[in-house]
Each structure stands twice: as C-alpha cells, then as structure tokens.
C-alpha cells in the first residue's frame, strides 16, 4: 500500500492506546509477533508514548532498528488532553504543534516520524481557523522532512473534502473509527478513494460487537477455519483499509496478522459491506 507521495505503508498497524504501564511489554510482544507499524499519540489520558519509546530502545538491543519500524503518532488538541497537555496551552497553536512534535520524537528516541496525524479537528462541522493553523503547522513539519507523511483522524466526510480541496498538502492518511452500522465509514472511505488517501480503520472489533454474533459472519469463519476477528480484519484489508488492532493478547496478535494469509470471496465481502445496513 502506497501513499500518493510514494511512501510504502505496512498493511497492519498495532495500536497502543489504553495499555497503561503494560505498553512497553505489549509493544515488544507485538513487534516480535510480526507487527512493523505502531500507532500512538502524545496524549497522556489514553497513550503512554514514552513507554512506546522504552519498547523501541529494548527492541533496538535485539536488532530491530528504527528503519525497520513505521512510527505514527498524533498531535492532540488541548480540549482532548486532560490536565497534562504536552505543550504550553497558552502558546499559539503553531507553537503547540512544534512542542508536541518535539515531545513525541524525544519520547520515541528518533529524529523523524513516519506519520504525524492531527488527532481530530477543533470544529464540529467544517474546518475553522484553529484547524487550518494546526494543519499548516503539520504541513511545515512535513516540508521540513521531519515526518514522511501527514494525516487526520476523527474526520467527517465534509471536513475531509474541504481539507483535500483546500490544503497545500492534502492528508496522505485518514484514521477513523469504523462502524459497520455506517457502512464501515462508507462516505469517508469513498472520499479517500477519490483523493488517493489511505484509510486506517480503528476499533473495527470494539465498535462492531453485533458483527461478532452475526450468524452469516460466523458461518464464513467456520467455512474458512478462522476466528470472527480475522474475518473482520480480512474484510478491512480486502476493501483497501489499513486496519489497526488494539489487542493485549499475544495469541490474538498472531491471529490478527493471519488475516493477511487468506481470502474472502466477492460474495463474502459484499455481505460484510452491508451487514449493518
């Protein structure tokens, strides 16, 4: 999978949210299980970015070097930061992005990122002054070669269309929660196809509990000799998404990666596409 600026992306990503003090051990296990891409954020209420960095140091001693891993982290606006924002909240937004980015590369013991993502727009509808100021600050990091790609998360179709149409550098990736009930984020995925933006889907399992018990999905899993989680991740891969998994279980890490090893029929894909409709 390539971005429109020619960066090659791993096909699966390990998400580090909500791992707390287990973050270091789980990241090491995930990489040793076969994940090469890690997602985090400089946002202490949900992520322990510094503990991801500790894992990277430990992995380096075992021969897993920086260039073998794809590191993605995020700039999180102050309204989603809780009481400990990783930047001066009274500074202008451009400075906040620069300070947060500096904190991220320090936590992760690197001098560049593979992907830097705006965690979510400030505006509920459309894009406002804050969104554009922050996006320009992120574009400046990209132009300076400090991150290979840039992206946006938790974005609506309307906002993504505006960003793609008006930004100097449109996002290379979008990261959204993917509900089967909304056609697996059909509108945003359609825009991503149109603008050649890679779609990363998160909470594919936790946002879709009803899919787990769907008899037709269970029948597909039985027929293919896999688990339901693998069917969902396989579906995501087959429709062109880059899925994230947040598993804390080593066996599940291996199972989730096995989604790359089998195929769903066009009928299976069609059924799953419309399962929540």
Ligand X SMILES: NC(=O)c1ccc[n+]([C@@H]2O[C@H](COP(=O)([O-])OP(=O)(O)OC[C@H]3O[C@@H](n4cnc5c(N)ncnc54)[C@H](OP(=O)(O)O)[C@@H]3O)[C@@H](O)[C@H]2O)c1
Residues that bind ligand X (CB under 6 A): 15-17, 39, 119, 153-154, 175, 202-206, 227, 229, 244-249, 252, 255-256
What is the nearest approach in angstroms of ligand X to the Cβ of residue 260?
Answer: 13
Mark out the alpha helices in 5-109 (DSSP H runs): 23-33, 49-61, 93-107
Q: Measured from the CB atom, is 100 or 144 closer to ligand X?
A: 100
- Whether the CA torsion 16, 113, 158, 86 is positive or negative: it is positive
- Of 96 and 247, the one with the shorter C-beta distance to ligand X is 247
CA 256 to chain centre: 16
Q: How far is the CB of 92 from ligand X (least distance, A)?
A: 24
CA quadruple 143, 148, 149, 153: dihedral sign: negative
Cβ atoms of residues 189 and 154 within 8 Å: no
- Let me know: does 238 contact 263? Beta carbons within 8 Å: yes
37 versus 93: smaller Cβ distance to ligand X = 37
Name the residue nearer to ligand X (CB basis): 164 or 236: 236
Closest contact distance (angstroms) between CB of 253 and ligand X is: 8
Q: Which is nearer to ligand X, 227 or 276 (CB)?
A: 227
**Minimum separation from the CB atom of position 15 to ligand X (A):** 2
Shortest separation between residue 206's beta carbon and ligand X, angstroms: 4
Q: Residue 91 or residue 222: which is nearer to ligand X going by CB?
A: 222
* Radius of gyration in angstroms for the set of CA atoms belonging to the chain, rounded to a whole number: 18
Closer Cβ to ligand X, 62 or 209, answer by number: 209
CA dist 144 and 238 (Å) reads 34
Cβ atoms of 77 and 119 within 8 Å: the answer is yes
Give me the sign of the Cα torsion angle 184, 185, 186, 189.
Answer: negative
CA atoms within 13 A of residue 30's CA, in its CB half-sphere: 28
Q: In the bound complex, what is the minimum distance in angstroms from residue 259's beta carbon to ligand X?
A: 9
| 8 A C-beta contact, residue 73 and residue 108 | yes
Is residue 129 within 8 A of residue 103, CB to CB? The reply is no
């Amino acid at each position: 999978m390539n971005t429109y600026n020619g960066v090659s992306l791993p096909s699966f990503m390990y998400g580090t949210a909500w791992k707390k003090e287990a973050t270091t051990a789980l990241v090491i296990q995930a990489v040793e299980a076969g994940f090469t891409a890690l997602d985090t954020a400089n946002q202490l209420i949900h992520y322990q970015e510094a503990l991801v960095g500790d894992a990277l140091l430990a992995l380096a001693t075992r021969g897993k070097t920086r260039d073998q891993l794809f590191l993605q982290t995020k700039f999180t606006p102050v309204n989603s930061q809780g009481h400990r924002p990783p930047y001066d909240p009274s500074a202008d937004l451009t400075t906040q992005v620069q300070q947060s980015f500096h904190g991220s590369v320090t936590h992760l013991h690197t001098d560049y990122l593979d992907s830097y993502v705006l965690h979510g727009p400030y505006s509920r509808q459309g894009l406002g002054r804050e969104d554009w100021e922050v996006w320009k600050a992120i574009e400046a990091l990209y132009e300076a070669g400090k991150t290979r790609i840039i992206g946006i998360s938790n974005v609506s179709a309307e906002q993504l269309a505006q960003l793609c149409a008006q930004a100097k550098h449109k996002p290379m990736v979008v990261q959204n929660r993917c509900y089967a009930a909304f056609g697996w984020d059909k509108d945003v995925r359609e825009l991503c196809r149109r603008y050649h933006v890679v779609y990363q889907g998160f909470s594919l399992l936790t946002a879709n509990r009803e899919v787990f018990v769907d008899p037709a999905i269970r029948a597909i899993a039985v027929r293919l000799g896999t688990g339901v989680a693998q069917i969902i991740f396989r579906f995501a891969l087959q429709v062109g998404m880059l899925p994230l998994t947040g598993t804390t279980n080593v066996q599940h890490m291996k199972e989730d990666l096995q989604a790359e090893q089998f195929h769903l029929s066009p009928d299976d894909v069609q059924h799953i596409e419309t399962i929540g409709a």
